[in-house]
Amino acid sequence: MEAKELMIGDWCAYGVNCKGRVTALTEHLITLSVDGNEINGLYMLMPDMVRPIPLTEEILVKNGWDFRDRQYAIECEEDVQGIVELSRDKDGYYWSINWDEYQIIRIHYVHELQHILRLCGIDKEISI
């Protein structure tokens, strides 16, 4: 994974089963904050040690996305009007806001969903 794919606050994984949020990054170093059962703290890692977390239905449901009409949807906050929807096909998820589809951008990973929500002005924390 390349550092330029990430933003502060993005979720990503490293090692066997460790997940953390990006707290700092440069071209050659990514710092993850990990708060787990056995491993806590900040970890400075080379970008090739970090990998994306696949976006799953379990993660969507855990974060309040409702399954309706063959899509996952979440209501936007008061300051952003509308509904964000994710539809699954063989190549991942594509997203829409207020029923305008954006099929050019496929979402495969949690950090990509985080980027879409931020770009839409939606302040939604994602839990893993």
Q: What is the pLDDT of residues 50-63, one digit of tens each?
A: 999 999 989 988 98
| Residue ranges, the chain, pLDDT below 70 | 36-40, 70, 75-83, 97-104
Arch. (CATH architecture) of 3-51:
Roll (2.30)
CA 107 to chain centroid: 9
Write down the pLDDT at residue 109. Answer: 94
CA distance 65 to 40: 28
Give residue 104's pLDDT. 60
CA distance 62 to 47: 28
For the chain, the structural domain boundaries read 3-51, 57-119
Q: For position 118, what pLDDT does the model report?
A: 86
Distance CA 31, CA 46 (A): 9
> What's the pLDDT score for residue 68?
72
Token output for 69? 């009409």
Q: What pLDDT sits at residue 79?
A: 53
Cα separations in angstroms, 12 against 86, 93, 113, 120 = 20, 18, 12, 21
Give the model's pLDDT for residue 82.
Answer: 59
